[in-house]
Amino acid sequence: MRKEIKKFYKKYPQIYIYGCGGVGNSLAEYLEVNNIQYQGFLVSDADKEKKAFRNHPVVGYKESIFDDSRVGVIIAVNKQNYKAIIAKFNDLLRKRVLSEFDVVGGA
């Protein structure tokens, strides 16, 4: 079911998780159990969030994160927030974004 994540990680070894709520926590746990390294968590408004989560930094999303061609982002948020977040990524950047819903079949 999550082979898409492993495939994505091989293509983009500098993974960020977008979201540090319940869905993000579950994804981080999955990555850790499967020895898949991730850089940290992205959020829409870093001023409203904690500075670290699961011993990884929490940073505000900026398009410049994609300046490194090894960076990929997995969106791990609830359905209510998904549409607003996916809209942040232009068509070119969406190729470097994987949705947790794509992986689990929820969207």
Predicted pLDDT of residue 103: 52
- pLDDT, residue 104, reads 46
Distance, CA of 26 to CA of 20 (rounded, Å)? 9
Residue 95 pLDDT = 87
Counted residue by residue, the chain has a size of 107
Q: Which of 74, 30, 21, 76 is nearest to 49 (CA)?
A: 21
pTM of this structure: 0.88
Low-confidence ranges of the chain (pLDDT < 50): 1, 104-107
Provide the 3-class DSSP secondary structure of residue 36.
Answer: coil
CA distance linking residue 13 with residue 5, whole number of Å: 11
**Among the listed residues 32, 34, 28, 4, the one whose alpha carbon sits nearest the alpha carbon of residue 16:** 28
| Strand positions, DSSP E, 1-107 | 14-18, 40-43, 52-53, 56-60, 71-75, 97-99
pLDDT of residue 102: 55
